[in-house]
Structure formats: C-alpha cells, structure tokens
Amino acid sequence: MQAIEFYENNIEELDLKIKKLLAKKSVFGLLRFGNVLLIIFVFYYLWHINIILAIAIAVLLSIVFIQLIYKDLTNKAAIKHLQHVQKINENEILAVEGINSQFENGFKFTPNNHFYANDMDIFGSSSLYQFLNRTTSEHSAKKMADWLLAPAKPEIILQRQAAVKELSTKMPWVQNLQAIGKENSIKESTMQKINNWLKEPNLFLQFKHWQWLRWAIPGIILSITALFVFDFVSKSVWYLFLLIALIIAFQINKIIAPLHNKLSDIVNDLAILKDSIASIENENYTSPLLHQLKTNLQSKNNFASNKIKALKKILDKLDMRYNIVISIQLNIFLMWNLQQVLDLENWKKNNSENLNIWFDTLAEFEVLNSFAVIHFNNPDWCFPQLKDNHFCIFAEELGHPLIHKKNRVNNYIDIKNSGKILLVTGSNMAGKSTYLRSIGINTILAMAGAPVCAKTFVVAHVQLISSMRITDNLEENTSTFYAELKKLKTIIEKINAGEKIFILLDEILRGTNSLDRHTGSEALIKQLIKQKAVAILATHDVALAKLEDVYPQNIVNYHFDAQTKGEELYFDYKLKNGVCTNMNASLLMKKIGLEL
C-alpha cells in the first residue's frame, strides 16, 4: 500500500470512529441531565414518605452520576486522542506531497561554528530537521538534533537501522505514541525540575523518627477524638490535642511548600510520560536496540509506567494542600502533607537513578519513530551499507532529500579510496552546490542511522566537514573571507592530524581576488593530496582542472553544464565526466541588461 493511500484510509476510518464517540458524548449529556431530574424527583416525592429510602435512592443515583461523569471524561479523552491521530495522518499527506512547514524546524538548536550544520541546512525553515522531525517532547527534539550533529558509532548505526526498519512496519503504533505526546508536550523544564529535586537532600527521611511519627500522631489524634465522642475526655482536652496537631501540620506545611511549588506543575507532563512509556512497554519488538530500550523500562519485576504513575499520584494527593476546605481537616487528623512528602522521598530514594533513563528511552523511541516515518513515506530509499576501510563512498540514484521527488534529479558518486579529490566545474545554477549537499545530507543521515535518498549507498564511517555557505560575523568583527579561512584552518588541522574526515568545498576563497583564490585553492588541493584526504570541490575556476594532468591518480574532473537555445538556458542537472566548457555567466549578465 502506498503511504498516501494508508494515510487517506486512516483518516476515513478515524472520522467514523470520532463521529460514533461524539454521538456517545451527546448520550452521556442526556443521561446526566436525566439523572439529576431523577434525584430531584426522588427527593420531592419520597422525602415525606420515607426519608431513608429517599436518601438511599439519591445516593445510588449520585454514584451513577459520578460514573457517567467518569465515562464521559474517558470518552472525551478518546475523541481528543483520535483527533490527534487524524491530524497526524493529515500532516503526513502534506509531507508526502513535499510540504513540511507543519513540523518544528529546530532553529533553536542551530550551533555556532559547526562542521556542516549551516552549509547542509540542518536547522531552520525547509531544513533537514524539519523534514525528519516527528518528535513531541522537548527532550526528544534535542536528541534528534544531537543525532544529526555528530556521527554515531558504526555498531549503533546498524542497530538504529534495524530498529527503524521494524518500526516502519508498526505505523499505527508509531502514530499512537505520537498522538499521546501531542496531548501535552513534555517540557525540558520538567526533566530539569525533577533532576534538581533528585539532587536535593531529603527533608524528612534523614530524621528516621518521622517514619513512625507519621502513624503515631494521627493515631493519637483519632483516638482522642473517639474518646471525646464517647465522653471519655473533655472538650478542652480534645481542643488541646487538635491545636497541637494543627501546629505540627502548619510547621510541616512551611517546610514542604517550596518543594511542592517546584513540582506541582509537572503533573500533566508526568501523565503523558506515563502513558507514552506504557505504550512502549506494551509493544513487542524483535530488533536488539528496541528490545534493549524496552528492558531499560523494567526493574525488579515492575514497569517504569507504574512507578511514574505512583509519583503522579503522590503529587496529586499533595495538591490537596491547595484546597483550604479539606486541607485543614486532612492535616489535623491524618498529617496528610507529612504522609505525602514521606512517600515522595521514599519514591526518590528508590527511583533516582532511573528517571533520566526513562526520559532518554522515550526520546530515542521518538527519534527512531521519526526515521521510521521517513522510511515509510519513501520506500524507494535505501539503508546505507557501512564499510570499514577509509575511505569509500558509492551511490546510485543519489538525490537531495529536501527536494520533492517530482522535481529531484538524481546523480551518482564513486570514490574507492583515500587521497581522492573530485573537482566539479560547471555553469552557474547548473547543480554543483545541490550535488554537494545531496552527498553531504545523505552522509549525515547515514551516520545517524536513518535511510538515505538513494537506490544504493555505501560509505565508510566518517566525520563530514564542509565549507560552502560562509557569512561574516559582526559581533566578532569577522569578514566573510576571514570566516572561511577559520573553517579551512580547522580542515587543515584535522587532515594534518590524520583524522578520518570527508570534505565538501564550494567555491573556496571567494572573498579575495582571482589570482590569490587560484593560488590558494591549488595549494589546498595539493595539501589534501599529500595528506591522503578525501574531498569534493565545486569551482568555477576551470584552471584547477589541469591539476588532473599532474595528479592523475588523485584528481578526477566532473562537471555540470547548461544548454542554450537562442537566448534561453536549459539545465539537466546531471553529473558528467570531464571539465565544463560551456559557461553561462555572460548570457545571464546580458539577460539583466549588461552590454557585453
């Protein structure tokens, strides 16, 4: 089944389900209204006949009313969840059609002075991140950025590939997990608040006597109250004990208030974390990575979702301190706040080492799910084969992932060992830069464990470095030329150190005069060859192509060109062997009115 057909069928099925649930919602509204009328009727007609019967029936009807409210809330939650799933399918139809603006673009993760992030459009509008991203939590979004900014180890890449392949066959489950996350995005601040709390010393557990006082104080107060009810103690004695309990409760409240204020607003995020983790726990996996991630959620025959549920329940109970009407009674008679804070500290004691693992596990699943969606949407893409030898790269039908397939022109690349330089000359707008970015972005995807836009893609494990889109920096008072020199300095230092890097260069040293640019470019190429580096260099300087005669074992010339028909230019964007002899700058300048 084609991806777009799958999404369209889902939308139709979900629409029917939502309509049924909306009909149930109307029924629940009518039943609640009828239930209230019955309670009024019972009191009106039975009160003077049999008070006990009237109260009994009213209590039963009230229980039914509460059950109706509960079922209605569950029904509303189901409607909301299905609407999220429906929206996910609508967004994927747009994605298949080449529209990705509905997804977060990750601009906030843009680093300064990165090896390739700016050149390869990793973040921002119409970026690789926006194309890939299906994450919902902030921690997951950050993890995806991290995966795109640095190559994973070869064994991890292979594990991710297997996981992505498996998840791409579980699209209903993938969408369900995504829909859970969309109900309330888990914020990074939630994780930070919990981590800060985990580092803080316990307020009560460090004083071991609280463990028995939590039961002794309420036991004494309830006993005195019972004695007072049966006239064994006077009212003044009872009041005295209530006052003592109130003072103790007040002091405890003062101690726990700052802690509760820090944690009270994370309850909604914990609910989503619990549901997300439960969804992961309830699914079965065959790939080693997914199985290991699921194992991370289990300890001592208990699941992480149950432990998160317990934490949420404690915080929900602690929220009762905000209810003035019942808070005073609960704390006088049961030491309510003390019970909850001791449960909270016991929870921390037993789970402090697990919480970050749970957040990380969800984040990894969300990023892997994002890659799986891309694989599902693009079944003609392949998973790269990794080679041990440095360096090799081979690809057939290699395309730019961010160009929709109806407009994409695919090419090839074949570099069999190190010490190779590909010189790509060509006309303006003929496709040189797009070709370099096609190679670069697919290499980044390969190093992240994602599928790539190619029929075949074989590559050695490598660190990509590029110099293509250089800008000045007003804050650092750095010119474009000097900014490029800094980038080239990094490349030279790495090749001199023997590091395994893959270099993409586009029109280097463009910020200086043509003579110095040629001299500098030639010197860099010679140094790259000397250090057995691997690079692809796109240039308008066709004189550099003559270096192939001097270094026939190291340099290979390719080109992109343009065809002319009258005063019009036509591009096929196909890579060809040899040096470009058909430049188009003069024709373009004439078209804007320059008299040449």
Structural contact between residues 445 and 451, judged by C-beta atoms closer than 8 angstroms: yes
Backbone angles phi, psi at 72, to 5 degrees: -65, -40
Q: Is the domain of 476 the same as that of 348?
A: no
Residue 33 lies inside a defined structural domain of this protein: yes
Q: Is the domain of 405 the same as that of 262?
A: no
Residue 121 lies inside a defined structural domain of this protein: no
Domain termination residue (choose one: 43, 62, 97): 97
Residue of 358, 364, 256, 366 whose CA lies nearest to 308: 358
* Greater pLDDT, 426 or 416: 416
| Pairing, β 562-565 against β 568-571 | antiparallel
CB burial class (10 A; 0-12, 13-18, 19+) of residue 324? exposed
Residue 203 lies inside a defined structural domain of this protein: yes
Domain termination residue (choose one: 330, 365, 400): 365
Q: Is the domain of 344 the same as that of 411?
A: no
d(CA 411, CA 409): 7
pLDDT digits (tens, 9 = 90+) for 208-251: 888 888 899 999 999 998 998 888 888 899 989 989 998 998 99
Instruction: Output the 3-class SS for 138-204.
Output: HHHHHHHHHHHHCCCCHHHHHHHHHHHHHHCCCHHHHHHHHHHHHHCCCCHHHHHHHHHHHHCCCCC
Residue 129 lies inside a defined structural domain of this protein: no
Residue 574 lies inside a defined structural domain of this protein: yes
Residue 110 lies inside a defined structural domain of this protein: no
Q: Is the domain of 205 the same as that of 290?
A: yes
Q: Which two tokens stand for residue 97?
A: 């059609």
Residues 6+ apart with CB under 8 A from 239: none
Q: Say how many domains are in the chain.
A: 3
Residue 380 lies inside a defined structural domain of this protein: no
Q: Is the domain of 274 the same as that of 350?
A: yes
Q: Is the domain of 416 the same as that of 543?
A: yes
Q: Is the domain of 290 the same as that of 399?
A: no
* CATH number for 465: 3.40.50.300
For position 124, what pLDDT does the model report? 94
Alpha carbon distances (Å) from 391 to 148, 385, 424, 461: 21, 13, 19, 8
Structural contact between residues 204 and 210, judged by C-beta atoms closer than 8 angstroms: yes
**Does the pLDDT value for residue 474 go beyond 50?**
no
pLDDT digits (tens, 9 = 90+) for 498-508: 899 999 999 88
Q: Is the domain of 474 the same as that of 587?
A: yes
Q: Comparing 55-69, 198-212, 467-481, which segment has the lowest mean pLDDT?
A: 467-481
Q: Is the domain of 219 the same as that of 271?
A: yes
Please tell me whether residue 431 adopts helix, strand or coil conformation: coil
Over residues 253-269, mean pLDDT: 87
Over residues 455-465, mean pLDDT: 96
Element (DSSP H or E) covering residue 408: none
Domain extent at residue 398: 385-591
Residue of 458, 429, 446, 410 whose CA lies nearest to 120: 446
pLDDT digits (tens, 9 = 90+) for 434-451: 999 999 999 999 999 999
Q: Which two tokens stand for residue 508?
A: 């280097």
Domain termination residue (choose one: 335, 365, 395): 365
ω into residue 359 within 30 of 0, thus cis? Answer: no
Q: Is the domain of 453 the same as that of 560?
A: yes
Residue 372 lies inside a defined structural domain of this protein: no
Q: Is the domain of 194 the same as that of 311?
A: yes
pLDDT digits (tens, 9 = 90+) for 281-329: 999 999 999 999 999 998 777 899 999 999 999 999 888 888 777 888 8
Q: Is the domain of 317 the same as that of 400?
A: no
CB burial class (10 A; 0-12, 13-18, 19+) of residue 557? buried
pLDDT digits (tens, 9 = 90+) for 488-541: 888 999 999 989 999 999 988 876 777 888 888 899 999 999 999 999 999 888
